[in-house]
């Protein structure tokens, strides 16, 4: 489990497709304190550390993860140099600063507008219809692993505001119109909607 509070920006340094996708990610984490088999959220995708060294870790990525996320950029999976929001798994006793995030990406949302509002930046995104019903005003979503509050919703479109601190310490400063970002809906919203199906 994660909180959606980004603690590092990693960079893809090597990618190899052999059966599954294998990637090496550079990081500022002290990898001496990260066990093999540990989970790290990479742009919101929960991935397992399968090898590591000073300043890097390797992950294996299944076809399911590739099809549900923004890993593919054109015909290329995570081009070398791609920057990623990173978060280590939540430990018992850690401060829960965002919201409960599983790292199981539900799909992608497309950025349809970006505009400065005071010191913050407002992003409007379009979610797939199947996921849009789980997005509610003042609810939470994880976008590229970042815990954000939904400001408003209109149909399949919803808006979020990124404050300067978040923009500076994540990859959001480089997000532009037309980009697709990983979307994880709030776990509570998922279960409430599922229960409602049985009541109707």
Contacts of 180 (CB under 8 A, 6+ apart): 70, 108, 109, 110, 111
Domain count, the chain: 2
pLDDT of 199 > 70? The answer is no
Whichever domain contains 131, its CATH number is 2.40.30.20
Confidence label for 194 from pLDDT (cuts 50, 70 and 90): low
Judge whether residue 14 has pLDDT over 80. yes
* Structural domain boundaries, residue 170: 107-199
**Domain assignment of residue 96, yes or no:** no
Q: Do both 42 and 111 map to the same domain?
A: no
Task: Say if 101 falls within a structural domain.
Answer: no
User: How confident is the model at residue 200, as a pLDDT?
Assistant: 57
Is residue 56 one of the residues assigned to a domain?
yes
Kindly report, residue by residue over 97-152, the tens digit of the pLDDT: 778 889 999 999 999 999 999 999 999 999 999 999 999 999 999 999 999 999 99
Q: Are residues 12 and 58 part of one domain?
A: yes
Which of the listed residues 53, 88, 123 is the one where a domain comes to its end? 88
User: Quick check: is 1 in a domain?
Assistant: no
Q: Are residues 111 and 189 in the same domain?
A: yes
What value does the mean pLDDT take over residues 149-163? Answer: 97
Please indicate, yes or no, whether residues 81 and 120 belong to a single structural domain of this protein: no
Domain annotation covers residue 27: yes
Q: Is residue 93 part of a domain?
A: no
193 plus 111 within the same structural domain:
yes
State the pairing for strand pair 45-53/140-143.
Answer: unpaired
Whether residues 12 and 69 share a domain: the answer is yes
The pLDDT tens digits of the residues spanning 29-52 come to 999 999 999 999 999 999 999 999
Domain assignment present for 175: yes
Please state, in angstroms and rounded to a whole number, the distance separating the CA atoms of residues 157 and 8: 29
Digit-coded pLDDT (tens) for 165-175: 999 999 999 99
What is this structure's pTM?
Answer: 0.92
């Amino acid at each position: 489990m994660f909180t959606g509070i980004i603690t590092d920006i990693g960079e893809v340094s090597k990618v190899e497709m052999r059966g599954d996708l294998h990637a090496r990610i550079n990081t500022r984490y002290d990898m001496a304190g990260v066990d093999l088999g540990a989970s790290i959220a990479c742009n919101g995708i929960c991935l397992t550390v399968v090898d590591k060294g000073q300043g890097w870790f390797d992950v294996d990525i299944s076809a399911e993860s590739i099809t549900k996320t923004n890993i593919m950029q054109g015909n290329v999976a995570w081009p070398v140099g791609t920057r990623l929001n990173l978060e280590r798994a939540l430990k018992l006793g850690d401060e829960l600063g965002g919201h409960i995030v599983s790292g199981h990406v539900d799909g992608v949302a497309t950025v349809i507008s970006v505009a400065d509002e005071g010191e913050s930046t407002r992003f409007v995104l379009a979610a797939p219809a199947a996921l849009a019903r789980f997005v509610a005003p003042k609810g939470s979503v994880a976008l590229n692993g970042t815990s954000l509050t939904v400001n408003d919703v209109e149909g399949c479109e919803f808006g979020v505001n990124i404050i300067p601190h978040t923009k500076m310490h994540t990859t959001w400063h480089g997000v532009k119109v037309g980009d697709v970002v990983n979307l994880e809906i709030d776990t509570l919203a998922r279960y409430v909607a599922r229960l409602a199906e049985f009541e109707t």
